[in-house]
Structures are given as C-alpha cells and as structure tokens.
Copies of this chain bind each other. A is one copy, B any other.
C-alpha cells in the first residue's frame, strides 16, 4: 500500500502565492531556568516587550529538533527547520568542514576533512606520533596549505583543492567525474600506529577512484612536507559527497533566501537551494538592512542570528539575555514589512547553564492571520510556549505549518 512521505506530500500540495514568510532562527534560543533570576530562563528573563506583545497575538509551541533527548548539531538543527528530516538528510564531516569555511562545493565534489600530523619514518614506513602536528597556529596552517596547494593541483583527471581551516585542520576537495565518497578514514585514532589505507568501502568503481586519488595525495603530501619538523604528514577523514537533495524551490515552490553572517549557516541554506544574500557587515542591523533591501524579491527569508548560541556556549546567561533583547529591538522593523507569516524559533536549545547544544524543545512563535492565541500567555518564553496552541512538534513539520499559514498549501484529498 502506497503511503505518502511527508516530503512528497508537501511537494504535491504546495502552491504558488504572493505571500511572504520570514523565519527567524535565533541559534540555540532555548534555555533552562536559573534560581538567581527567579527560576527564569534566558528568554523569560530577557526584557522583550515587542516579543511579549507579539506572543500574546500569536500561536505558540515548541519544536523538537530530532527526538526526545537528542541534541542536534547545527546542520541537523537547520535541516529540521527547513523540513529535511535530519534522520534522513545529513552530510558528512568533509562537507560540513567545507560549509564551515564558506567553500562553495560543486555537484559531484568530494570534501575531506584533513589533519596535519607528525609521522616518524625511522622504521621505513610512517608511524603517527602526533595526530595534530602540535596544533600549529593559524599562520602556520595557512603556510602549510599554501605549500601543498602549489605542489599538488591535479591527480590524474581530478583537481585537488586545499584550504586551511583551523590549527591542524584543513579541507581537501576532490573535483572530477565519477568520484564516490565511500572511502575509509586514514586516521589511526591513536599514536604509535601506522596510518590506515584510504580503502574503498563498499568496493565500487567510484569509491576505488576516490581511494586511489587519496592514496596518491597522501604520498605526494609526504614528499612536499618531508622537510617540515612537525607537520610532515596528512590524515584524511570524513570523505563526503556534496548531496543533491530536492531543493527548496522545487519542494515548496518558494524562492528562498538566507540572511546569515556565519559561513556554516550560509552553506546550509545554500545546500537546500536558498540564495545566500551578501551583507555589508556582520551586525543585526546589517542583517535587517539586507532584509529590507531584498524585501519583495523572495518568498521566504531565513534570518539567522548567531549571538544567542555563542553566548549560551560561553555559559553567559546575561549575555544571552542581552542578545535576545537586541533582537527584540528589531521586531517592530520586521513587523513593519508586513510579512504574511513571521516565525521565530531556534535550531536547538543552548542553555547557558549547560554551555552546549541540548535536546530541549525550542520555543516557537508563529504570527499570521490564522493563529490561535491563548489568553493565559504572558509573553514569549519556554513555559508560555508550553501553553500554546501548536504543542510540541517535530521541527521537520514546521515548514508545512508556515506554508499553510501563508496560503501556500492545498487541501489534502477531497
């Protein structure tokens, strides 16, 4: 018996419209209460008159990124919000490394997360003595990558692109036809051991091609780095293919754009087919200026705000509150654009007390003409959202709610 998958159903029911959707992602928005502030969370304790007023006129709820207890990474958190089930849609470490430094992967590219390492060749074959080559400073990483790049540009018909990341980490991109990403890591995951072979797994022609290029690359790099004291070897991990998923505009009939300052979020949005807009600077004001400048040119605006997560990871409750308050200040400007739907949520929780991404469902505010406010709601906060009319929903179902509230979803069956 045929059963509709969520993705296919939405693709089948979505329709064009002139309506406009704004999705604000306050990264790591959700928090946990602290006793000192009367048992309030960051969002509850923040002074947010505009959000509180809006909450009283909105549908509230919470989104669960993956499943109870599962804290998502940034990619899983965002894929969920974009309606790409994070348990089905995920990318390898190599691709994430590329996204993180803003490297634009082309279709068919294989991205690899590489480490500079120290190897001892005294026995004839390499034995890894430091998997991170003493954690070189950034200038050193850049010099090493530059050195490699000048010597290694092509292996057979495959172009080799090398970019520094941070400390011992750098990115290798293999660009060519017929490359597979089923290749095992060469990192032996311990010192005093020889590096592993980049073995094809499973053994297919595509994976064999990648493995053979990788093997050659490691050998060439060893020659180029032979005179380096510490970084004389490279380890390769997380071979991964840039995915080609049904893009946003095809799945939702939405022309989407991203207004994000950090490369990772710009990359995640690009991966699902959004246009990534250029920004004058990296402040919230720059982001709002950009939104206003492009208003009307797109159907869907993904506005990503990083500060909430960063301050949560710092463990700085007050600074996270301030980041939320800063956003509250621009809410009237968002509303003055008169979007059909304005949704405000996060990709996951980052409670300042927890200092990391957590699994707690994330507050969601949805403002549109078709909302069901709840009279006992006082403002925008975790406990108010629990009273809301949306309930706790998987974040991967948010997109159909946004489409419905903007008149972009046809009825299911007669």
Contact = CB atoms under 8 A, between A and B. Distances in A.
Size bracket, chain A contacts: 35 or more
Interface stretch (A67-75, A169-177, A206-214, A292-300): A67-75
Contacts of A6: 67
Contacts of A359: 400-401, 404, 409
Name, among A1, A67, A354, A403, the residue most crowded by chain B CB atoms within 10 Å (CB to CB).
A67
Contacts of A288: none
Contact of A401 (B69, B351, B411): B69
Nearest to A398: B68
A136 to B, nearest CB: 22
Interface stretch (A102-110, A152-160, A253-261, A369-377): A369-377
A3 B391 contact: no
A32 B86 contact: no
Contact of A4 (B87, B360, B387): B87
Contacts of A382: 372, 389
Interface string A298-331: 0000000000000000000000000000000000
B375 A383 contact: yes
Contact of A374 (B354, B383, B390): B383
Interface stretch (A88-96, A143-151, A216-224): A88-96
B389 A370 contact: no
A409 B39 contact: no
Contacts of A276: none
Given A373-B39, A400-B69, A401-B68, A86 B413 contact: yes
Interface string A393-408: 1000111111111000
Contacts of A357: 411
Contact of A33 (B70, B358, B372, B401): B372
A33 B58 CA distance: 12
A90 B3 CA distance: 10
B409 A70 contact: yes
Interface in A353-371: 353-354, 356-361, 370-371
Contacts of A402: 69
A404 B372 contact: no
Contacts of A68: 390, 393, 397-398, 400-401, 404
Contacts of A41: 372
Contact of A372 (B32, B85, B393, B400): B32
A382 B387 CA distance: 12
Interface in A40-69: 41, 66-69
Given A13-B70, A383-B374, A90 B413 contact: yes
Across the A-B interface, give the 3 residue pairs with the lowest CB-CB distance, nearest first: A69-B400, A69-B404, A73-B413
Given A359-B400, A372-B383, 8 more contacts: A2-B88, A32-B372, A68-B400, A69-B405, A71-B404, A90-B413, A351-B370, A374-B386
